[in-house]
Structure 1
């Protein structure tokens, strides 16, 4: 599935077991409407099932510039077989940045044992957006944490 062709509504996709999930926000009592896509900024798919986390970005072609993948729960990722570099942001349960790796090349690993989730973004996205923590928070929960 390509991120650019992703057209299901948040509630519909969560109901059919798709990649988007509002559970991250619901845990913070923000309701189901704050799941994964901010039409004005960063768009994040949220991988929560074992299969979704296992496939990660390998299930997608290159990421469009304002798109990414949030993997929850996750403490480590790899880029084996990915074919392109990515930016990686490890977050705690309150969506605070614990660790950021810019342009992680293919065939590498990144680990942060204190992380609750990780966001994978196109290479160079974090450097181009110094407010990456706010963008991620807005994409996942409308900025409310």
Structure 2
């Protein structure tokens, strides 16, 4: 018989840097989850992503046990990395903060493919290009 699910917690934590401080501690504490157990497991799984923001979905069960699923870092993180910027444009659509090439967008799309709602690479590239455009970053051919 499957465990009964109590709820889900969605967090974005830097890879390999989960600690009991906010936002992790309070979010897990109010559900009665062992915070240190989660932090150790998360840090072990995300050592390769050190310094990158990692979205995680924690499934909390009625017996206070938990499972978690790690997603790939946000597209905006990859786009900023590719454009070598700290942030996007202050006025997206009006001013351009930087640019990335179509090839860079394809690389980002291949990394994000499992988390994107796209059937093929071409559609995934369009999603990434849209994200870049909304950040004020131009995608050049």
Shorter-chain TM-score: which interval? under 0.3
Higher relative contact order (CA 8 A, sep 6+): 1
User: Looking at CA atoms only, which structure, 1 or 2, has the larger radius of gyration?
Assistant: 2
TM-score, length-scaled by structure 2: 0.26
Structure number with higher helix proportion: 2
TM-score, length-scaled by structure 1: 0.25
